[in-house]
Chain A
Amino acid sequence: MTAPNHPHRTHLARLLRAGLIGLCLVLAHVAVAQEESGHRLERIVAGKKLRVCMWPGHYSLSYRNPRTREAQGVDVDLVRELASELKVAAEFIDSSLQQTLEAVSAGRCDLAITLVDMPAPQAVRFTTPHLGSGIHAVATRGSRRIKQWDDIDRPGVVVAVLLGSMQETLAFNTFQYAQLVSFPDEAARELAVESGRADILMTSYPYSLYLVRNTDWARMIDPPDRSAATLFTWAVPKGENAWFQYVQHFIETIKRDGRLLRAVQRHPDAKPMVVLAD
């Protein structure tokens, strides 16, 4: 038998074939794209694992017990609760204070916990803040000059803050006589106080607790009244709507049904934390 000899019919077939292949490719791409984003929740459930990024230094909220190396804290408990609801295991991954957000935005973690609420970078979505803490001051143990909050706002006192932080703004607005010095990172800020270049530093409660527990020079000074100046929140990678809704819904639910309150009550260290209602 000889091949068919309709030229336009052969061209059409070839076109059709190409089109079909193209469609398939598009579909495949779409499928792949879908796989990459929007199905995190399903993957978590299927894989029976929830990867959580945290900086293990937010004492009372999420930290690692130096002796047992176990993740502990209010946020840790809440994540475990979330994981048990999904019937998956929670895996806690340590990262640096700066790297946590990046890990989540890159998608290496499903969830980042205990993040200070700030204008969010593009690749993450913050849940509504559920806990708040006031601004605490940390001075040296040997200081006899600065013993309580009222001693801070005096001439000659140098206050160290993190550049661009909410504390910087707050200190700037609060203190009239004390001199404010901003530092680019936490280490520089702490070094200044330890060496005496600055007298106190301003930070959140969990971080203050971290300094007190992990250095031999730090001493915490409580603010005169409770506030929720610093808000703590969780973050999920952007583009995971279902996953985000799930976590968001979880946060809202635990606020209402008292689980958040109970989790805070379980940790005596977390007493100064403010439980946000809505």
Chain B
Amino acid sequence: MTLTRDTMSKRFRHLAADIAFVAVLTLCTALALLAVSYNSDVETRQQSAIYLSMLQRDAAFLTRDIGKLLRDIDRDLKTLLDAPSRRRGEHRQADAFRDILRGAPHLRSISFVDPQGKIAFSSTPENIGHTLDLNACVSHTLTPESLLRVCPAHSGRDIADGVPLTDNGKSTPEPGFIPITHSRLPANGETATLVATLNLDYLARQAADMLEAYGVARVALLRADGLRLFDTEMPDAGLLMIEREISRRWKENHTGEARQLEAIDGRYWIVADRPHPQLPIGVVLAIDHDKIMESARQRLQTNSLTTMLLMLAGMICTLFGYLFFRHAGRREREQQQQAEAQRNLLESTLNACTKAIAITTPQGVIEWVNPAYTALTGYTAAEAIGRTPREQSKSGMQSGSFYAQMWQTLLDGRIWRGELVNRRKDSSLYDELLTISPALDSNGAIRHFIATKEDCTEHKATREQLAVAHSHLNAVVENFPGALVMEDTQGRIVLLNQFIFELLGLPGTDEYVLGKPVHPLMLFSSHVAEDSQAFLDRIKELRESARPFYNEEIHFKDGRWVERDFIPIHLHGGLIGFLYIYRDISQKKRHARELWQLATSDPLTGIQNRRAFFEQIERERARLIRYPGEAALLMIDIDYFKRINDTHGHTAGDAMLKHVVQLVRKLLRESDVMARLGGEEFAILLPQSGRDGALGLAERVRAMLEENPLNYNDTPIHVTASVGVTIVTASDSSTDQVLSRADHALYTAKRNGRNRVESG
């Protein structure tokens, strides 16, 4: 198959399409990936922002809570300072302290402290005498006449064993406390100060609750001057610097912020700080950005991965889909091409068909014709298409009902076949053999009619000729002077006439008709024949020989004689059947016998005549040459026969001759032959008889005649005969020789006195 430019460009186009598609897919995938990564970024930043705002809010809440706590402590201490029991002595003082402590479980102890910081009285007696460094505390005026001080965190259980943490270098101690003091500024200058120790564990619990939400976070409580009061965990260098910076900012502008910061060591923190608006404290919440984003990032990663995988799967599916459809499309095109080719082939076939074919609509309008149609009707395709056959080639030779019946058959969905006379374009009529088949669609409705036309004029003529010939034949056959049976090589009756029934005495049943097997007929015939088996065997023999045999005589059981001619029939050198002709020759046979009888017998006596006898002798002689033996010949002559004729009349003479024959016959054997040679001359041939035997017989004959006169009209007429005997031998060269010898013997008998036997 050569690659034409067409196929080349087609291939190139296909390739280009494929490449383009793959390129588009890749582009889509790339875009999708970009989108996913962009989305992750956005989400990450959103998550950070969420944490930021959460942290900011929590910092605000925590600061507020701790502020409230400090204010509560301040109030409690104020209540104690105001209490009248203060004046009632230590006992009452202790009770008062206990009462307050019961309601403030976050406080460890309450003590009175002098301006130098020395504990004068305490709910925890161990504290008395110990000093609290008030200078280290940051003061704040909540109300004009009172002072609140927030002191550094102390390690230890209470002031008694408390050690202040004055720098940020150490982590929050446990046990630990923060001393909060409340001083009343009296009019007379002497301050009364109460100090309460705030349980650091309480702050720890608060922080713990908050941390629960984040998992990795750090809570720190700073004093306004930057001193760390409490934290959940020791900050690293980076965070330390951040805290310093935060406290600096607090000092400057008192605002809180939430930011994402990079510490000096490279760690990212989300830090929210919030200074208390009034109190000298602030809260710093920090979460490790990377850690907190870890889980979020992991989640995002999983999501991205899933999305990407799904996308990839989608792309692959699309690719496969594209390939599949392209393949399918190609296949469909191929199939179409094949179908097209097949259609072309079919059309060519129809065009090549010698039969005229027309395809019409269900209404009979021609849609397509083949060249043979044009050849037949004379109308070209252009002329035929769009017309109905009726309008074009109607000859008027068919009746309306003819067409009506045709249509009925067709509309029933059946095929119509028939002959009609149509008109060609040149107006000549012709006989047409028409077959119309309906073409049905898948639902069984008629889509088209397919008409096949054939010029059958010649065919029709031939048929007529054949019909004529057939009738000729029929005439001959029916009137043939004889019985005819013709069979084909399959043993079926091809032809037979009425005479066969008469001849054979067959019943005229359906069994013996054209097309039926010939065998029953043959069988019946055989039963009628004298020798049934021989009849059948002969038929078989004849068939096998396949050569004609004429005038074969068959003897029937009923005595009839039938003659048969057996004639094999050939066509183009090949055997196509056998013809049997039977003639009843019984009559003929009878006539023949009668003639023969006349020719060979003596009319009066019925015995052989001279000629027949001589032939007999001849036969005997010939036989003797073959088979050695003897035969005897007797010549008998009636004595004085003339005298009888004269005396009694010729009638008596005839009677006498008959009488002699009658008598002599009695003495003869089966094989002996008696003949009348002449008027009163007889002869007897004795086959296989010797001289003695012959002489014996001759004597008996003489005696018989002598002793048995004829009784004629009640008158006995005596008769005697002379007999001459001779022997017939093989050496006899002719019948005459034998006869003359016998004659001589007879003459001797006559000469010696008649009524005597003489041999010679």
List A residues at the B interface (Cβ < 8 Å): 140-145, 156, 158, 187, 191, 194-197, 199, 216-217
Least Cβ distance of A4 to chain B in Å? 79
Main secondary structure of the interface of B (DSSP, over half): mixed
19 pairs of residues in contact across A and B, judged by CB atoms under 8 Å: A140-B201, A142-B202, A143-B174, A143-B201, A144-B204, A187-B102, A191-B105, A194-B106, A195-B108, A195-B109, A196-B175, A196-B202, A197-B108, A197-B109, A197-B124, A216-B205, A217-B105, A217-B201, A217-B202
Q: Is B208 an interface residue (CB 8 A)?
A: yes
Q: Given A158-B157, A194-B105, A195-B107, 11 other A-B contacts at CB below 8 A?
A: A142-B202, A142-B207, A142-B208, A143-B204, A145-B174, A156-B157, A194-B106, A195-B105, A195-B106, A216-B205, A217-B105
* Chain B residues whose CB sits within 8 angstroms of the CB of A143 once the complex forms: 174, 201, 204
Measured between alpha carbons, how far is A196 from B108 in the docked complex, in Å? Answer: 6
B residues 188-213 touching A (CB-CB < 8 Å)? 199-205, 207-208
Q: Which residue of B lies closest to A194 (CB)?
A: B105
Whether the pair B205, A199 counts as a contact (CB closer than 8 A) is no
* Chain A residues whose CB sits within 8 angstroms of the CB of B175 once the complex forms: 145, 156, 196, 199
Q: Is B101 an interface residue (CB 8 A)?
A: yes
Whether the pair B204, A142 counts as a contact (CB closer than 8 A) is yes
Measured between alpha carbons, how far is A195 from B205 in the docked complex, in Å? Answer: 12
Measured between alpha carbons, how far is A139 from B387 in the docked complex, in Å? Answer: 115
Measured between alpha carbons, how far is A87 from B201 in the docked complex, in Å? Answer: 53
Q: Which residue of B lies closest to A187 (CB)?
A: B102
Least Cβ distance of A138 to chain B in Å? 13
Whether the pair B102, A191 counts as a contact (CB closer than 8 A) is yes
Q: Is B177 an interface residue (CB 8 A)?
A: yes
Whether the pair B157, A195 counts as a contact (CB closer than 8 A) is no
Question: A195-B107, A196-B108, A199-B175 in contact; A142/B201 too (CB < 8 A)?
Answer: yes
* Chain B residues whose CB sits within 8 angstroms of the CB of A144 once the complex forms: 174, 204
Measured between alpha carbons, how far is A156 from B174 in the docked complex, in Å? Answer: 11
Q: When each residue 163-175 of chain B gets 1 if its CB lies under 8 Å from chain A and 0 otherwise, what string results?
A: 0000000000011
Least Cβ distance of A190 to chain B in Å? 8
Whether the pair A191, B205 counts as a contact (CB closer than 8 A) is no
Closest 9 CB pairs of A and B: A142-B204, A196-B199, A194-B105, A142-B205, A142-B201, A145-B174, A195-B108, A196-B108, A140-B201
Question: A158-B157, A195-B199, A196-B199 in contact; A217/B205 too (CB < 8 A)?
Answer: yes
Whether the pair A141, B108 counts as a contact (CB closer than 8 A) is no
Whether the pair B205, A196 counts as a contact (CB closer than 8 A) is no
* Chain B residues whose CB sits within 8 angstroms of the CB of A196 once the complex forms: 108, 157, 175, 177, 199-202
* Chain A residues whose CB sits within 8 angstroms of the CB of B158 once the complex forms: 197
Least Cβ distance of B171 to chain A in Å? 10
Measured between alpha carbons, how far is A156 from B208 in the docked complex, in Å? Answer: 24
Question: A191-B101, A191-B105 in contact; A141/B208 too (CB < 8 A)?
Answer: yes
Q: How many B residues touch A, CB cutoff 8 Å?
A: 23
Q: In this complex, which of A143, A144, A156, A195 has the most chain B Cβ atoms within 10 angstroms of its Cβ?
A: A195
Q: Which residue of B lies closest to A140 (CB)?
A: B201
In the complex, number of A-B residue pairs with CB atoms less than 8 Å apart: 58
Measured between alpha carbons, how far is A144 from B200 in the docked complex, in Å? Answer: 12
Whether the pair A141, B157 counts as a contact (CB closer than 8 A) is no
Whether the pair B201, A197 counts as a contact (CB closer than 8 A) is no
* Chain A residues whose CB sits within 8 angstroms of the CB of B104 once the complex forms: 195
* Chain A residues whose CB sits within 8 angstroms of the CB of B200 once the complex forms: 142, 196
Least Cβ distance of B324 to chain A in Å? 60
Q: Which residue of B lies closest to A191 (CB)?
A: B105
* Chain A residues whose CB sits within 8 angstroms of the CB of B108 once the complex forms: 195-197
Least Cβ distance of A40 to chain B in Å? 40
* Chain A residues whose CB sits within 8 angstroms of the CB of B204 once the complex forms: 140-144
Least Cβ distance of A159 to chain B in Å? 13
Measured between alpha carbons, how far is A158 from B157 in the docked complex, in Å? Answer: 10
Least Cβ distance of A153 to chain B in Å? 16
Q: Which residue of A lies closest to B156 (CB)?
A: A156
Whether the pair B205, A140 counts as a contact (CB closer than 8 A) is yes
Measured between alpha carbons, how far is A226 from B524 in the docked complex, in Å? Answer: 129
Measured between alpha carbons, how far is A141 from B212 in the docked complex, in Å? Answer: 13
* Chain A residues whose CB sits within 8 angstroms of the CB of B101 once the complex forms: 191, 195
Least Cβ distance of B626 to chain A in Å? 146
* Chain B residues whose CB sits within 8 angstroms of the CB of A197 once the complex forms: 108-109, 124, 157-158
Least Cβ distance of A146 to chain B in Å? 9
Least Cβ distance of B363 to chain A in Å? 92
* Chain A residues whose CB sits within 8 angstroms of the CB of B124 once the complex forms: 197
Measured between alpha carbons, how far is A145 from B174 in the docked complex, in Å? Answer: 7
Measured between alpha carbons, how far is A141 from B211 in the docked complex, in Å? Answer: 13
B residues 86-133 touching A (CB-CB < 8 Å)? 101-102, 104-109, 124
Q: In this complex, which of B105, B106, B158, B203 has the most chain A Cβ atoms within 10 angstroms of its Cβ?
A: B105
* Chain B residues whose CB sits within 8 angstroms of the CB of A217 once the complex forms: 105, 201-202, 205
Measured between alpha carbons, how far is A221 from B302 in the docked complex, in Å? Answer: 40
Question: A195-B101, A196-B175, A197-B157 in contact; A141/B205 too (CB < 8 A)?
Answer: yes
Measured between alpha carbons, how far is A142 from B105 in the docked complex, in Å? Answer: 14
Q: Which residue of A lies closest to B206 (CB)?
A: A142
Measured between alpha carbons, how far is A25 from B175 in the docked complex, in Å? Answer: 71
Measured between alpha carbons, how far is A90 from B249 in the docked complex, in Å? Answer: 68
B residues 213-235 touching A (CB-CB < 8 Å)? none
Least Cβ distance of A211 to chain B in Å? 13
Measured between alpha carbons, how far is A191 from B98 in the docked complex, in Å? Answer: 11
Measured between alpha carbons, how far is A143 from B124 in the docked complex, in Å? Answer: 21
Least Cβ distance of A158 to chain B in Å? 7
Least Cβ distance of B180 to chain A in Å? 14
Measured between alpha carbons, how far is A143 from B232 in the docked complex, in Å? Answer: 11
Q: Which residue of B lies closest to A144 (CB)?
A: B174
Measured between alpha carbons, how far is A58 from B174 in the docked complex, in Å? Answer: 31
Q: When each residue 318-360 of chain B gets 1 if its CB lies under 8 Å from chain A and 0 otherwise, what string results?
A: 0000000000000000000000000000000000000000000
Q: When each residue 145-172 of chain B gets 1 if its CB lies under 8 Å from chain A and 0 otherwise, what string results?
A: 0000000000001100000000000000
* Chain A residues whose CB sits within 8 angstroms of the CB of B107 once the complex forms: 195
* Chain B residues whose CB sits within 8 angstroms of the CB of A187 once the complex forms: 102
Least Cβ distance of B128 to chain A in Å? 16
* Chain A residues whose CB sits within 8 angstroms of the CB of B174 once the complex forms: 143-145
Least Cβ distance of B53 to chain A in Å? 27
Least Cβ distance of B191 to chain A in Å? 26
* Chain A residues whose CB sits within 8 angstroms of the CB of B203 once the complex forms: 142
Least Cβ distance of B49 to chain A in Å? 31
Least Cβ distance of A165 to chain B in Å? 21
